[in-house]
Structure 1
Amino acid sequence: MRRVFVAGLLLSLVLGGCSLRMAYSQLDWLVPWYLRDYVMLNAGQRTLLDRQLAARLDWHCRSHLGDYASTLREAQRVLSAERIEAEDFSPFLARSEAWWQEIRAELEDDARVLLPALSDEQVGELRQAFERRQREARKEFLGGSEASQREARIARMEKRLQRWFGRISAEQRTLIAAWSDALMPTTQAWLDSRARWQAAVIDALQVRTDEALFAQRVAAFMAPDEAGATPEYRAQQAHNRDRTLVLLADVFNAATPAQRQRLLREIDGLAGQFEGLACATPDRDERLALNAD
């Protein structure tokens, strides 16, 4: 179920035409759930994490998985057309952003519960993990020459598209290369923003025994990404997002019949999985009874 939760988030990014880089950076917002990957937890902390996780997965299952399935079914209908335009993806992007804001709000509540339980030693461990992963990200996305970075960026996008289309054609590779060349450079700004966010988490943990002050700092580092972004960076992100939407449309329009069939099969299969996992929403009488209890 943890994987389903993350898959749901990444699904919204895929449908929204966002890059692998965006998906990678967004995962840091799931620190409350990935504490085990950053910090060695004791038995009491694991129990607390599991209890919060169970409640959050139940909420997510009831509130979002059905929407993911219906959105995928809608995407099937859109992608059954002979030709699509970049604008056809816009409703999916808006929907994914709305989902993310809802999830972010829920995770803020969890962060206020889970993070204060860390000891000073664990905070130090978390800081070291942040620093290590920041170095890894810089090496992955900024290491090597500009030419090697370009090739890596193209390879990442090809791999992501192969998940849906299968083997990428020469024409589609040309489209991906042109997309890469048209992107504005945001990697350094993104990494800097990521480092500031990690520093804000550590800063908040320094006052975790002060409930009111800690809550304020958690709200600050869980605020929407746009809150601390410069106008220039927002403009660059918007440009790159638009170019990615154009790429998705162009790759689809250049797809062979076999590729289109595979795409629709993949979407159908994923929609079926979400339909099978979605929880029933309590009816009005059940909700009233729950509230009365």
Structure 2
Amino acid sequence: MPAQPQPVAGDDLVVHVNGLTKRFGNTLAVDDVSLDVHRSELVVLLGLSGSGKSTLLRCLNGLHASTSGVVDVVGHRVDRASRSELRALRREVGFVFQHFNLVGRISCLENVLLGGLGRLKCARYGALTYPKRMRAEALEHLDRVGLADLAHRRADTLSGGQQQRVAIARTLMQRPTVLLADEPVASLDPENAGVVMDLLFQVCVEEKLTILCTLHQVDLALGWAHRIVGLRSGQKVLDRSTIGLTRDEVMEVYQRVDPDLTTPSTTAVRRR
């Protein structure tokens, strides 16, 4: 685990959310949340399952349309964007999923190259159909995640931790300004989870990439995040730098009010 991250300097606002509300029918998933995130900041969203973490993340790139509120990401008003505007936004916003979403039958190299398709005018089939400069760039990204020697291996032959690192390399190939990661280590063992979080932290600092990541693991959040945002029942209940933040303070996010009691009760962290 790295030394405690230092606060991020600068006023380069990349994500601005004001009064975001998202409903699914009668279910209120996100309830009047406001949030600002700056360049080269790694923010972790914590909370129980169903607290609104993933919904908030998906509202940032338009996978979910917000019900009300302002959502501005890298200068794009996501909450009122057209389809063409959302396509432009998604070229600047990478997304790393819990289950990797790699194409298993093709090589790691070609999976990473898929991240660069937005820069090409037509689809490509096979790694050799991509420009040489792009193949070299994809290899550099695989080297960055420690997998250059597996570039020509089928993706579905890799371990879970290796597949997630390929997924990160694919996202870097996209050249994003913002990276959204939804439970990127939920299916990994503790050692591989640490490797992936360390990689995200390095990319954030060295590439000045803004990262918002949902997690269930409090210790990982404290170890790698610059800042922790806690959600409970769709509402923001914590927004603090990790400098000086204690585990006990973070665990208060997981308190729930028992309707049969007058005082809150604390439940254990539940993993998806």
TM-score, normalised by the number of residues in structure 1: 0.23
Greater strand percent: which structure? 2
TM-score, normalised by the number of residues in structure 2: 0.25
Greater helix percent: which structure? 1
Greater RCO, CA 8 A, separation 6+: 1
